[in-house]
Amino acid sequence: MPELFKMPQATPTMEVGTIAKWRKAEGDALKPQDVVAEVETDKAVMEIEVFDSGVLLKILVEAGVEVPAGQPIAILGKSADEDFSALLASLGGAAPAAPAPAKASPAASTPSAAPTPSPEKGVAAPVARAPEGGLRPFTWAGEAVNSAFMELPTYELGLLEAAAGAAEGPGSGRAAPAARRAARALGIDLDAVHGTGPRGRVLRADVEAAQARPAAAPLPPAPAAPKSEAVKNSNMRKTIARRLTAASQEVPAFYLTAVFDCDALVAFREQLKGAGLAVSYNDILIKGCARALVAVPEVNASWGDEAILRHKAVHVGVAVALPDGLITPVIRDADKKGLSTIAGDMKDLAARARDRKLMPDEYTGSTFSISNLGMMGIEQFTAIINPPEAMILAVGGMQREPVVRADGSLGVGWRMRVTLTCDHRVVDGALGARFLAELRKLIEKPALLAA
């Protein structure tokens, strides 16, 4: 008996998925654990398997279409000659057939083709129309205002005199009869004549003066308006927008900035390189943050309405940039791993993250995150907390600066600025400062990390 094959929820955060590629065609035989399709989720491209033998009778959703989890995407059966017409008819128009083409330009859409969304599903908010008499609808940035979202005046005052002049026709009512006769005789456009009479009325003398003046040079053509391109949001970009918007709106964040002396850190890494260990500054930071989280366990926590959850394990997430967003692979139990192990794990996770091959448990479950933009020439920045974590560390680049040493002498040293974003519901200022002080000790005396 034919049955529906529905879009699975491939990751814990997946709400919709895009069919990236069908690996089987209609009529192909299937066996258990065969991959029928590749689905782009919010973080990776996942392979979708079947668990029973059968035949792929019908593909309901073409490649490139975004489908909510749980919606049918194909029909499976036991044999190729099974009749699935009744099942197909029962679906009606539920399943999309092909990806919708992107619009060439947002400016090309009209209010009737793209109405302002309403806060209630299926109910369009009223947009007032302009009455007669030179008034026009109130707009914001060139777009129609939805009264359900913004409490603003319904109309703006238009240029009433211009509207009246347009209704009467060019030159009518603002030129003296003698001026109109002279303009017809001399072939002069009254609209191009500057009037010197009362309220700008064009007089015969104005027409004669216009004839005596040389013709003005034609104006250069106006430059063409720049064109825009509509780039469809990927599932990853939608997830980033949803999660970080919620974080910025719901988390009462504050920021602590510190400058670390990195002279010993630079020397320590040179020693590791000399010993044949390919360890980056970021790997050392991961280890340092993990040790600091153990030393100050109150910050390795998450907010809950009834209780703060203090995590026993230390899982450090590290932001990795992708072409259409970013992902945060997780170094699990980072406090228990050596620097060389962390370096190997990070290299493997970052490579598979860029290929969109990470499994869900490799980019979820972090208790603390690091975002490092130092390699891109950024000296200092702030990062948005990755919920449900309580902190994230933004790391700027190391650079050589003039410094005053402990003995009062002047010199040049390596310095690095870091900014800790804290969820004030979990971490107070003094507690966040304790964490940074512990991290400073480990970065400025990195030999402690090798112990």
Question: What percentage of the chain carries pLDDT values higher than 70?
Answer: 79
pLDDT classification of 307: cutoffs 50, 70, 90: very high
- Flag the least confident range among 17-21, 54-58, 78-82, 213-217: 213-217
Pair type for strands 135-137 and 301-302: unpaired
Phi and psi torsions of 12, nearest 5°: -60, -30
- Flag the least confident range among 136-145, 236-245, 325-334, 435-444: 136-145
**Domain limit, last residue, from 73, 91, 109:** 91
Is the pLDDT reported for residue 193 higher than 60? yes
Q: If you average pLDDT over residues 388-408, what whole number do you get?
A: 93
315 included as an active-site residue: no
Question: What does the alpha-carbon distance between residue 272 and residue 397 come to, in Å, rounded to a whole number?
Answer: 20
Q: Which two tokens stand for residue 417?
A: 């600025």
Task: Specify the 3-state DSSP secondary structure of 163.
Answer: helix
Contact of 63 with 19, CB cutoff 8 Å: yes
Range of the domain at 194: 167-212
**Is 100 among the domain residues?**
no
pLDDT at 237: 85
Burial of 327 from C-beta contacts in 10 A (0-12 / 13-18 / 19+): buried
Closest CA to 242 of 69, 42, 106, 423: 42
Burial of 74 from C-beta contacts in 10 A (0-12 / 13-18 / 19+): buried
pLDDT at 99: 47
Is the pLDDT reported for residue 166 higher than 80? no
Whether residues 417 and 268 share a domain: the answer is yes
Higher pLDDT, 412 or 173: 412
**Domain limit, last residue, from 41, 57, 91:** 91
pLDDT classification of 112: cutoffs 50, 70, 90: very low
Question: What does the alpha-carbon distance between residue 190 and residue 204 come to, in Å, rounded to a whole number?
Answer: 11
- Using N-to-C axis directions, what is the helix angle for 339-354 and 281-295, rounded to 10°? 110
**Is 418 among the domain residues?**
yes
Question: What does the alpha-carbon distance between residue 386 and residue 327 come to, in Å, rounded to a whole number?
Answer: 11
Q: If you average pLDDT over residues 95-111, what whole number do you get?
A: 43
Q: Which two tokens stand for residue 86?
A: 């009744």
Using the structure block, give the residue that is written with the tokens 């002498």: 409
Burial 390-409 (b: 16+ CB within 10 A, else e): bbbbbbbbbeeeeeeeeeee
Phi and psi torsions of 233, nearest 5°: -70, 130
The dihedral sign for the CA sequence 71, 73, 79, 85: positive
**Is 222 among the domain residues?**
no
pLDDT classification of 373: cutoffs 50, 70, 90: very high
Whether residues 256 and 208 share a domain: the answer is no
CATH classification at residue 172 = 4.10.320.10
**Domain limit, last residue, from 33, 58, 91:** 91
Q: If you average pLDDT over residues 177-197, what whole number do you get?
A: 80
pLDDT at 283: 96
Is the pLDDT reported for residue 279 higher than 50? yes
Q: Tell me what the pLDDT averaged over the chain comes to.
A: 81
Amino acid residing at 89: A
Ranked by mean pLDDT, the top range of 86-90, 159-163, 173-177, 214-218 is: 86-90
Whether residues 256 and 189 share a domain: the answer is no
Number of Cβ within a 10 Å radius of residue 30: 20
108 contacts: CB under 8 Å, gap ≥ 6: none
**Is 33 among the domain residues?**
yes
Question: What does the alpha-carbon distance between residue 442 and residue 449 come to, in Å, rounded to a whole number?
Answer: 7
Ranked by mean pLDDT, the top range of 1-5, 37-41, 219-223, 384-388 is: 384-388
Number of domains observed in the structure of the chain: 3
Give tens-digit pLDDT for 118-133: 444 444 444 444 444 4
Whether residues 274 and 385 share a domain: the answer is yes
Whether residues 204 and 261 share a domain: the answer is no
Give tens-digit pLDDT for 418-429: 999 999 999 999
Q: Which of 194, 311, 315, 424 is catalytic?
A: 424
- Flag the least confident range among 116-125, 136-145, 407-416: 116-125
Whether residues 440 and 337 share a domain: the answer is yes
Give tens-digit pLDDT for 282-297: 999 999 999 999 999 9
pLDDT classification of 372: cutoffs 50, 70, 90: very high
- Flag the least confident range among 12-16, 94-98, 345-349, 381-385: 94-98
Using the structure block, give the residue that is written with the tokens 């069908």: 22
CATH classification at residue 15 = 2.40.50.100
Whether residues 286 and 379 share a domain: the answer is yes
Whether residues 306 and 418 share a domain: the answer is yes
Question: What does the alpha-carbon distance between residue 117 and residue 148 come to, in Å, rounded to a whole number?
Answer: 9
Pair type for strands 391-395 and 368-372: parallel
Vertex 403 angle, CA 398 and 407, to 5°: 135
**Is 221 among the domain residues?**
no
pLDDT at 168: 41
CATH classification at residue 354 = 3.30.559.10
Whether residues 207 and 274 share a domain: the answer is no
pLDDT at 200: 76
pLDDT classification of 155: cutoffs 50, 70, 90: very low
pLDDT at 107: 40
pLDDT at 141: 55
Number of Cβ within a 10 Å radius of residue 149: 13
pLDDT at 137: 57
424: left (phi over 0), alpha (psi -120 to 50) or beta: alpha
**Is 129 among the domain residues?**
no
Whether residues 335 and 191 share a domain: the answer is no
**Is 365 among the domain residues?**
yes
Question: What does the alpha-carbon distance between residue 238 and residue 234 come to, in Å, rounded to a whole number?
Answer: 6
> How many residues in the chain?
451
pLDDT at 15: 78
Give Cα 14 distance to the centre of its chain. 17
Q: What is the CA radius of gyration of the chain?
A: 34
Question: What does the alpha-carbon distance between residue 18 and residue 62 come to, in Å, rounded to a whole number?
Answer: 10
Give tens-digit pLDDT for 15-66: 788 888 899 898 889 988 888 898 888 777 888 888 888 888 889 888 888 8
pLDDT at 286: 97
pLDDT at 139: 60
**Is 119 among the domain residues?**
no
Whether residues 193 and 254 share a domain: the answer is no
Question: What percentage of the chain carries pLDDT values higher than 90?
Answer: 40
Is the pLDDT reported for residue 73 higher than 80? yes
Is the pLDDT reported for residue 389 higher than 90? yes
Whether residues 330 and 191 share a domain: the answer is no
Burial of 418 from C-beta contacts in 10 A (0-12 / 13-18 / 19+): buried
- Flag the least confident range among 76-85, 133-142, 282-291, 402-411: 133-142
